[in-house]
Amino acid sequence: NTWNKYTGVITPPEGTHVLYYFAKDHLGSEELPKSLVFKLDATPPVIMNLNIKEGMYVNTESIEITGNISEPLSVLLIQGKRVPIGSSGFFKTDVSLNEGTNTISFVVIDVAGNRSFRGVKVIRDTIPPDIEIEYPSPWITVHTKVIEVKGKTEPGVELKVNGKSITVREDGRFVGEIKLNRSGTNALEFVVKDKAGNITRESVAVILILKVRIELFIGKREAFVNDMRKMLDYPPFIHKGRTMVPLRFISEGFGADVEWDPVVRVATITFSNEKEVVMKVSPDSNVASLNGKPYIMDVEPVIKEGRIFVPIRFVAEAFGSDVKWFLEERKVVIIYPRGG
């Protein structure tokens, strides 16, 4: 009675199977059947829902890694260290990072011995991006509300100037346009953010002095502001040898704010450019207030069609503008700023 080893090949599909077997001799005697349950698994385990991506940037010393394993009974190694896997397949761990590129390795081994390997590159960058602003230079004086901004920074960053996105080219250079909010001093804030979330802020102050050219014609309601045709409620006129011009029209043409107080009958004009100018004018007096100081006009203001008219000399001195008189055309040209 010697034992003979039986060998053979079966090719069942993946899954759980029951193998039945028994022995039978040459006389026909056989033993009772026996069974063996086994599971065939040739599929490597899979890492799912990984929270890190290839080539991602971070600016922290470590990174939290989470995900799921398709087979919860597997063994998970991250950077060579075993990481516990929950009954649902979920895992979480922290991995320390070096400055620069880090390749995070994953090895998963299931109970059948199948293995899967994976590497994910994560870049740690803790250095804020550089920015060089070529234009505008600090405290430059400009004469248009829309100005150009240009310079260079690092490729791939996000750049905003006063909240407006500016495109950065592949070589890091940028050129864009920004609209200034007001006459006078405007602060431009450049905010650069790289892929890792590092932020650099730079501020440049510029001074906006708008160039304005106003053309008025004695006896005509037609007027021009920077060559744009306008219609006046009442035309300029000559009064006691002085050229009288509409105060509100000229003030608003220069970008000033005008408020009328009907109780005290005073118009307040606030003009902000290189410096703030506050004027107070009443149609009942030839004494105006210019930045808190009295200013005596050649003649008293006059109201026409509900509009205050003042001598043109007052306008020139209050706003710091040039006045040109063209006799043949009976035309007055007011140019701001003076010398512009």
- The SS3 assignment for 127 reads coil
Q: Are 256 and 306 members of one domain?
A: yes
Is there a cis peptide before residue 337, judged by omega within 30 degrees of 0? yes
If one counts the domains in the chain, the total is 3
pLDDT average per 10 residues of sequence, the chain (340 residues) = 74 85 84 87 93 96 97 96 97 97 97 94 97 96 90 97 97 96 90 97 92 93 93 95 93 88 93 78 93 92 94 87 92 85
Question: For tokens 């207030």, what's the residue?
Answer: 289
Q: Which residues sit opposite 334 in a β-bridge?
A: 214, 323
- Provide the CATH number for the domain around residue 179: 2.60.40.10
C-beta separation of 184 from 205 below 8 A: no
H/E element, 250: helix 247-253
Q: Are residues 79 and 115 in the same domain?
A: yes
Check whether residue 240 and residue 308 sit in a common domain: yes
Does residue 224 share a domain with residue 150? no
Claim to verify: residue 272 and residue 292 sit in the same structural domain: yes
Q: Give pLDDT, residue 311.
A: 94
Position 42 scores a pLDDT of 86
In a domain, 41, yes or no: no
**Structural tokens at position 284:** 């009942």
- Residue 30 belongs to some domain of the structure: no
Question: Is residue 81 in some structural domain?
Answer: yes
Residues of the domain holding 184: 131-208
Please identify, among 94, 124, 154, the residue that sits at the C-terminal boundary of a domain. 124
Res 209: pLDDT: 80
